[in-house]
Structure 1
Amino acid sequence: MLDTAQYRMAEGDTLPALLERYASAAKATEEAVAALPDLDVGVPLPRTPWSPPEPEVWSARRVLLHLIRETAQHAGHADLVRETLDGANTTAQR
């Protein structure tokens, strides 16, 4: 059984600390991408609770596109929550 604690906020986590961890991960990602010889390099996927039984390998290009899609999707979810809380939306006012 895989430990899923990394996917949840821990008691005592703060927004500034989480944002710093996010910025640190983004910097590490930029450095890893810059070190690649090309985007067709195979990248073994990490094990997760939803992983298939056999290890998977994606191209670096596919991994990056997945990261972009996931970030956009979850940012959209966060925006929906924010709009629900504050009643404002991002449509242009005329």
Structure 2
Amino acid sequence: MTATITRANGRVDVEREALLGFLAQQRAFLLTTLEGLDQEQATTRTTKSALHLAGLVKHVSEAERGWIRFIEEGPAEIDYEAQETYDFHEDTFRLVGDETLEGALADYAKTAKATEEYVRSLPDLEIANKLPAAPWFPEDAEWTARDVLLHLIRETAQHCGHADIIRESLDGRKTMG
């Protein structure tokens, strides 16, 4: 977590800093799974799924940027049945073209910094937008900036678990315990 502290009315915004702190911890756990690996190792699939460590970092970075855009701009209209949507989503889990592990890590750091700066700039965490129409969201539901931060913590933590399994399968290293 950066040294910047959000202040509201001269007081530290404890809730906002706690949420950003938990998100920073989850990011750090994810990055721990990549310590000491080169690009070949970080892009090795160790399970039947298409997941690999570099792809997980790329995915959580893209997801984080998307949810921050949601806070800023509201929901994007997405055709969840379209092949382009599916292909885009799948490509967030792998390095494509000239993408590299180094680039994915740099992008993740840039995304984290931008998220923290943006969240600290919000007047409060009550800013809300209607969720996009999707089969997994209740109709006409909305999320606040707080809800988005909680979701980002949950999503990053979920992918930390995936990363732990992949890393342990790769070389036996455990990131926790």
Specify which structure has the bigger relative contact order, considering alpha-carbon pairs within 8 angstroms and separated by 6 or more residues.
2
Tell me the residue number matched to 1:81: 166
Deviations 1:6-33 (A, max 9, x none): 5242122100101111111111111110
> Equivalent of 1:60, from 145, 161, 171?
145
TM-score normalised to structure 2 length: 0.43
d(CA) in 2 for partners of 1:79, 1:14: 21
Q: Between Structure 1 and Structure 2, how many residues are aligned?
A: 88
Q: CA-atom RMSD, angstroms? A: 2.5
> Equivalent of 2:134, from 30, 51, 59?
51
Shift of residue 86, structure 1, vs aligned partner = 1.1
- Residue 17 of structure 1 aligns to which amino acid in structure 2? G
Shift of residue 71, structure 1, vs aligned partner = 0.7
Structure 1 portions without partners, runs of 5+: none
d(CA) in 1 for partners of 2:109, 2:141: 27
d(CA) in 1 for partners of 2:119, 2:130: 14
SS of equivalent to 1:72: helix
Query: What is the aligned-residue identity percentage?
Result: 49
TM-score normalised to structure 1 length: 0.75
Tell me the residue number matched to 1:33: 119
